[in-house]
Amino acid sequence: MKTGIIKPRTLSGFMELLPKEQLIFDRIRDTLSTVYRQYGFLPLDTPILEHSEILLAKAGGETEKQIYRFSKGDTDLTMRFDLTVPLAKYVAKNYSALSFPFRRYQIGKVYRGERAQKGRFREFYQSDIDIIGDGSLALMNDAEIPSIIYDIFNRLGLTDFTIRINNRKVLTGFFSMLNLDDKAEDIMRIVDKLEKIGQDAVAKELQDIGISEEDCEKILTFISFKGTNEETIAFLNHLKAQNDVFNLGVEELTFVTNAIQAYQVPEANLQIDLTIARGLDYYTGTVYETCFNKHPEIGSICSGGRYENLAGYYTDKQLPGVGISIGLTRLFYILNEREYLRQDTLAPADVLVIPMTDDVAPSIRISNAFRKAGISTQIYFEQKKFKAKIGYADKLSIPFAIFLGEDELSEQKVALKNLSTGEQQILSLEDAIQVVTSSLSEKENQSIIDTELTSRSSL
């Protein structure tokens, strides 16, 4: 006996997409993995649950509050809240089985119990790449990362974005020149908020931690320098020779910025920005952020940097690395909400075969042939009115329908209908496969982000 019906609902802060959205989401995710693979990154898939002791080795109070932590039996468990800590554990654990530089990508769900609000998710995909060295890692790797970011967004159809690059040593060195070494971390955390809260608020926060008005002025003037990459590098070189850390930072930044040119990332998409600090104290060199030029309010959609040591909590080995992370769920949410995603170009099938006779065997035979040719094909088996069958294909945006009636079967032909143009042709099986295949390869080249939409509007 049924005991009443439970209202079907999904947890708040947990994204669950309708089929058409899911197709687009998957296309974006697949684009990311394709580019990562093109650059020789290994896939990694670590558990979602780990010993709390492992995940919280480093965590501070803020993280502790936001995590999903619970016990099962005697085991203290935590759901991963990022993909970096599991990577650190993995590399430390499997150190002797890995080849360095170890290049890995991971696209996976992470969990944070943040306050529920629009556009904030508690379960969301992160998409990370990291290159880990054993003892050392060539600086050239820092130059490769922007190229990967560029390729990804370019493939998705985005053009109006900027990869901003900086070097933490430039900042720490500069603060050191002002004799503010002991406050460097705090200053870094505060200036990182510049875009969000503005100059005045940053100045106030800096003064709150005891920075003099004069130093405050100097810091703000320094980080606010605007110019071409060449001009910024000239500006920095002009300040050199006073501090070793600063000098090294300028050299690294110069080297990386020059090296990126070989990757043919347009200067319009890559800019040195001295305000980029990344709040986290584990970045030690190059840092990256990526933003939509006309939507600074969205903040960075792809961030990362160079760190000295990945896995100090789990091993004595020195494992420097460089990496970036894309908040995939958030990126999708933004693009979807602002209607920048091309609608109705993705469908569960390329062809819907509609049998018009009682014997469905010929429909099956023809579908097998289509599938063998790499065409995704569904047969509509249900007993419905003809209009309902076509309506089904329409609603799912399936681009082609094939009708198989007595006439077609006796002539060994198929009736192929292009559902967007309405054009219908009687063709041999081979010709029908040909028509569908060439239409699909045209579509393949369409990016999922609609460039017309993005230029017309403001992304």
126 is in an annotated binding site: yes
Q: Judge whether 292 and 459 are in contact, CB under 8 Å.
A: yes
**Nearest distance from C-beta of residue 204 to a second copy, angstroms:** 32
Residues in 119-138 that interact with a second copy by CB under 8 A:
123, 133, 136-138
Helix (H, G, I), strand (E, B) or coil at 244: helix
Among 59, 63, 82, 113, binds a second copy (CB under 8 A): 113
Residues in 16-55 that interact with a second copy by CB under 8 A:
16-19, 22-23, 25-26, 37-51, 53-54
Among 126, 127, 141, 275, binds a second copy (CB under 8 A): 141
Where are the strands (E) in 85-208, listed by range?
102-111, 123-132, 161-167
DSSP assignment of 66-114 equals: HS-EEEETTEEEEE-S-SHHHHHHHHHHTGGGS-SSEEEEEEEEEE--P
112 is in an annotated binding site: yes
Rg of the chain on CA atoms, in Å: 27
Task: Tokens 């192929």: give the residue.
Answer: 416
- Per rule CB under 8 A, is residue 98 in the interface with a second copy? yes
Of the pair 211, 330, the CB lying nearest a second copy is at: 330
The count of chain residues that interact with a second copy, using the rule CB under 8 A, is 98
Helix (H, G, I), strand (E, B) or coil at 352: strand
Residue window 379-418: x/- pattern of binding to a second copy, with contact defined by CB under 8 A: x-xxx--------x--xx-x--------------------
Give dist(CA 61, CA 396) in Å, integer. Answer: 47
Task: Tokens 């209202």: give the residue.
Answer: 7
Tell how many helices (H) and how many strands (E) occur in the chain: 17, 16
**Nearest distance from C-beta of residue 151 to a second copy, angstroms:** 8
Computed from CA positions of residues 311, 312, 317, 318, in that sequence, does the dihedral angle turn out positive or negative? positive
Of the pair 116, 268, the CB lying nearest a second copy is at: 116
- Per rule CB under 8 A, is residue 75 in the interface with a second copy? yes
- The kind and range of the H/E element at 61 are helix 61-66
Among 28, 80, 84, 101, binds a second copy (CB under 8 A): 101
**Nearest distance from C-beta of residue 371 to a second copy, angstroms:** 5
Among 62, 72, 74, 441, binds a second copy (CB under 8 A): 72
Give dist(CA 389, CA 35) in Å, integer. Answer: 38
Among 349, 402, 432, 448, binds a second copy (CB under 8 A): 349
Give dist(CA 386, CA 394) in Å, integer. Answer: 13
Taking CB under 8 A as the binding criterion, the range among 179-187, 194-202, 226-234, 356-364 that sits at the site for a second copy is: 356-364
Of the pair 139, 203, the CB lying nearest a second copy is at: 139
**Nearest distance from C-beta of residue 70 to a second copy, angstroms:** 3
Of the pair 299, 348, the CB lying nearest a second copy is at: 348
Helix (H, G, I), strand (E, B) or coil at 403: strand
Q: Is 85 exposed, middle or buried (0-12, 13-18, 19+ CB in 10 A)?
A: buried
278 is in an annotated binding site: yes
Residues in 199-258 that interact with a second copy by CB under 8 A:
none
**Nearest distance from C-beta of residue 323 to a second copy, angstroms:** 15
Q: Is 28 exposed, middle or buried (0-12, 13-18, 19+ CB in 10 A)?
A: buried
- Per rule CB under 8 A, is residue 57 in the interface with a second copy? yes
130 is in an annotated binding site: yes
Give 7's Cβ-side CA count (13 Å radius).
Answer: 3
- Per rule CB under 8 A, is residue 364 in the interface with a second copy? yes
**Nearest distance from C-beta of residue 133 to a second copy, angstroms:** 7
Among 28, 31, 84, 104, binds a second copy (CB under 8 A): 104
Q: Judge whether 19 and 348 are in contact, CB under 8 Å.
A: yes
Computed from CA positions of residues 32, 33, 34, 40, in that sequence, does the dihedral angle turn out positive or negative? positive
- Per rule CB under 8 A, is residue 117 in the interface with a second copy? no
- Per rule CB under 8 A, is residue 294 in the interface with a second copy? no
- Per rule CB under 8 A, is residue 342 in the interface with a second copy? no
Binding annotation for L-histidine: 82-84, 112, 126, 130, 278, 282-283
Binding annotation: 82-84, 112, 126, 130, 278, 282-283
